[in-house]
């Protein structure tokens, strides 16, 4: 099992293009015209969204020690 993570967006860098939502295998990201949303319970910690973002606006942070 990969380390359980949470995805963080840098809102100043994000263009709300929706690409991260498109590559997410688990529908854990929703991008509306004004907002980027993350659903931690759906995330499978694959980090595909992080490497896909054309501008590097996403990062992953460990969820350890929280529940």
User: Cα dihedral sign for 10, 49, 32, 44?
Assistant: negative
Alpha carbon distance 66, 12 (integer Å)? 27
- Nearer CB in complex with another protein: 46/63: 46
Alpha carbon distance 36, 21 (integer Å)? 9
| End-to-end Cα spacing for the chain | 17
Under rule CB under 8 A, residue 10 binds another protein: no
- Write out the binding residues for another protein, residues 12-41 only, by CB under 8 A: 15-23, 25, 27, 30-33
Under rule CB under 8 A, residue 44 binds another protein: no
Under rule CB under 8 A, residue 60 binds another protein: no
Q: Residues interacting with another protein, by CB under 8 A?
A: 15-23, 25, 27, 30-33, 48, 51-56
């Amino acid at each position: 099992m990969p380390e359980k993570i949470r995805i963080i967006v840098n809102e100043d860098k994000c263009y709300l293009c929706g690409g991260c939502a498109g590559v997410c295998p688990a529908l854990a990201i929703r991008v509306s015209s004004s907002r980027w949303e993350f659903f931690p319970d759906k995330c499978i910690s694959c980090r595909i969204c992080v490497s896909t973002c054309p501008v590097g606006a996403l990062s992953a942070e460990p969820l350890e020690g929280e529940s």
